[in-house]
A and B are shown apart, each in its own frame.
Chain A
């Protein structure tokens, strides 16, 4: 099996265009919330803007976020917590109390989870409120303070942190080759139920592309990034700086054992795929909804008669024993 061809095929099955109708629903809901927020916080806020993996073009159709960032003016609330709570109260009143959606406080955002529609789709939009650092500096700096509603990444519940979501979006803009690798790592993360943050892989991949000469086909590029992660994640002094906050080193959010584990996982993946390219299917399975592997078709996976010999059961190739 040619590795890059397989990976390209696999990526194809995770494209957002396969779920256009669903994305449309998401966009409609997001725009609806955007308009409501604009109306409510008209003088207090700047224009809300889109973020999340969809905005960054790193979304996969099994896991994606259409987030909405609401930048508030410095004098709109006396505290960041007040800002967070007021946005929550408003969304709760507007959507939950009217029976449209469940609204809940999340880690740094407020989740609006619309009840299933006629097709059974459940749309959820995350709203991230942020407040500019100083009066009127948002339009130039794009810096915001965001609120931590849970203990997270080393920050305590109730604290806040400077970020620049626009810088994070810009950081990945135009880097289509890196985005392919990021999407593959997200497929792996989601398939294997890994706890690591997607943002971590974004920063790793972009840094690998910056620091290493990356050429060749998709497998070559993926392998270089995985090797980069394997070698650097356990290195003392290795930093992954959040483009939205130069004081935020993502490496600090990982415990030592998590770093070692991630390095081991990258090592194992590279070795197993080099041993046998079929192992790619384990790490980066195609999204079965939008693409079936010819070698793994349902025909091959079921019992069948061989050469028409009636009455003899021929075990399938994948038969297991114990």
Chain B
């Protein structure tokens, strides 16, 4: 069987036109190893590549190709790993011979693009870092952009707050986010987090140094030793003092040395060397003058392998890089009134699509039976809806500022005073500070009042029929439109309701998925309206036995 596989591999490789020579091939345990000379018209001379084929070939494992080509002499070229591996991404095939032909073709493509043409990729490629664990624990450091760039050569302190601990590659990981850089001269540069993250407790401190280039060899492999960095003496002294200042209280604590560098005109990136207080790789050197000790000391780095921590740029544009809503929505101040099933799903979705300002209002308390079809947790027990949802939304995005508004604003104040001239004006001012109010409260009286109060702000009313058969969304003429839909147009079954024992206020029947389908479809449509500046016509989405239909009015 193995002989057959080896023979197939050998024959196939030998038949590839640009393989000048298969120098050798052998079965080595479970692997097939060999060496080929590749040559084709554009090449001056043949290039040698070793290859290694793993037993899962032609399938991939861990999303990686199971054939490896390598040549250590090519390490300086793009898409070559430190061990000389050529990084190729090829097409899928389950047929051994076909896959060999595909993969060798990919190797040929790499030679043309990156060896012959020395192409540079448009996207910045981060340097390759091998992360270390210390005492079986990894460390991560998340950052975003600072208000104002940090100059090259600048150094100072860095303040960190903790996120939850997690698991990374079967070991524990301690997660931090960076709050602030404070230069040695005292200039503070805060990072751009939401208020909640901005105000969170400092749980660790470290140091930073801003380099003039990435801490890497060949521009892509993270350095192995701090000595290679050629850090200036004044920074080493600063580092020494930092350790000394913290030695008593924090011996053994792992602190980050953040090394910054520009990746383009406007953006910086950071890598983190992990240092243990008490074991900084520093030694004191006496300063001599004319061969005599002056009594002063300077610092020098000791040759020691760098323990790299994980560092991630989570700036808004990367955090939401895979997909956001239109800025016409995400940058607006939004108020959601009523955060039951519909309102909580709306709030959570808006957070995940990049909204920055969401205020919540609801007088209600989350009971355990609310959990099954809304965005609340059982874990938090009985809890005020606004406070719990605020926590959940903040847990999702470090860029959303969530406020809980006093429920009596709408329940009592607005309803009581909306008709009175002077009060009406001040109420208008309170409400008009928002750009968009999404009313998911199903409160007809409030719907009437909001219509009557005359707001400059965009209003959107969202509610559903029993069994989540329809969702009614209204932007204009809201009170009359919505009432007509529910009273006259839609077949809203108000007999078959869910009536838990002892409850005098029955509720509608629908599961999380039923409701979410409608909410997501509605939000998808609303995003399109805002993004394309289209007329915000009222609309109704109906779910007819799984067939969704959106009717605009």
Q: Which residues on A are within 8 Å of B, measured CB to CB?
A: 191-193, 257, 261, 264-265, 268-269, 271-272, 275-276, 278-279, 281-283, 285, 295-296, 300-301, 311-313, 315-322
Contact = CB atoms under 8 A, between A and B. Distances in A.
B466 interface: yes
16 contacts: A193-B476, A257-B533, A264-B552, A268-B551, A271-B551, A272-B553, A276-B489, A282-B538, A295-B487, A296-B483, A296-B484, A315-B494, A319-B492, A320-B465, A320-B482, A322-B343
A65 B119 CA distance: 72
A301 B444 CA distance: 10
A182 to B, nearest CB: 20
A268 B553 contact: yes
A321 B552 CA distance: 20
B341 A322 contact: yes
Contacts of B144: none
Contacts of A313: 504-505
Contact of A268 (B482, B484, B552): B552
A322 B535 contact: no
B217 interface: no
Given A282-B480, A321-B508, 10 more contacts: A264-B535, A265-B537, A272-B551, A300-B487, A311-B504, A319-B494, A320-B486, A321-B465, A321-B466, A322-B341
A307 to B, nearest CB: 13
A318 B483 contact: yes
A296 B441 contact: no
B483 A301 contact: yes
Contacts of A265: 535, 537
B487 A318 contact: yes
A316 B341 contact: no
Contact of B476 (A192, A272, A312): A192
Nearest to B504: A313
Given A282-B481, A282-B485, A316 B494 contact: yes
Nearest to B481: A282
A192 B477 CA distance: 6
A282 B494 contact: no
- 7 smallest CB-CB distances across A and B, nearest first, come from A318-B487, A321-B508, A320-B463, A318-B486, A322-B342, A278-B488, A320-B442
Given A191-B477, A268-B552, A319 B486 contact: yes
A284 to B, nearest CB: 11
* Interface-central residue, B440, B463, B486, B534, by most chain A CB under 10 Å: B486
Contacts of A283: 553
Contacts of A285: 480, 484
Contacts of B487: 295-296, 300-301, 316-318
Interface in B370-422: none
Contacts of B441: 322
A318 B492 contact: yes
B464 interface: yes
Most chain-B CB neighbours within 10 Å: which of A281, A296, A312? A281
Contact of B553 (A257, A261, A269, A320): A269
Nearest to A293: B488
Nearest to B486: A318
B463 A278 contact: no
Given A191-B477, A272-B553, A282 B535 contact: no
Contacts of A275: 551
B488 A281 contact: yes
A278 B486 contact: no
Contacts of B483: 296, 301, 318
Contacts of A311: 504
Nearest to B447: A320
Given A296-B488, A317-B487, A322-B442, A282 B477 contact: yes
Interface in B525-549: 533-535, 537-538
A233 B553 CA distance: 18
Nearest to B489: A278
Nearest to A258: B535
A261 B536 CA distance: 10
A191, A193, A257, A322 pick with most chain B CB within 10 angstroms: A322
B547 to A, nearest CB: 15
A320 B465 CA distance: 6
B463 A322 contact: yes
Nearest to B480: A285
Contacts of B342: 322
B458 interface: no
Interface in B324-374: 338, 340-343
Interface in B483-529: 483-489, 492, 494, 497, 504-508, 510
Contacts of A320: 442, 444, 463-465, 472, 482, 486
Interface centre among A276, A315, A316 (most CB of B within 10 A): A315
A319 B486 CA distance: 7
A6 to B, nearest CB: 11
A321 B505 contact: no
B358 to A, nearest CB: 17
A315 B551 contact: no
Nearest to A322: B342
A2 to B, nearest CB: 14
A121 to B, nearest CB: 18
Contacts of A281: 480, 484, 488
Contacts of B463: 320-322
Interface string B87-105: 0000000000000000000
Interface in B462-482: 462-466, 472, 476-477, 480-482
A322 B474 CA distance: 14
Nearest to B482: A320
A318 B481 CA distance: 12
Nearest to A264: B535
A281 B534 CA distance: 24
A312 B476 CA distance: 35
A279 B442 contact: no
Contacts of A296: 483-484, 487-488
Contact of A282 (B343, B484, B533): B484
A317 to B, nearest CB: 6
A131 B50 CA distance: 95
Nearest to B465: A321
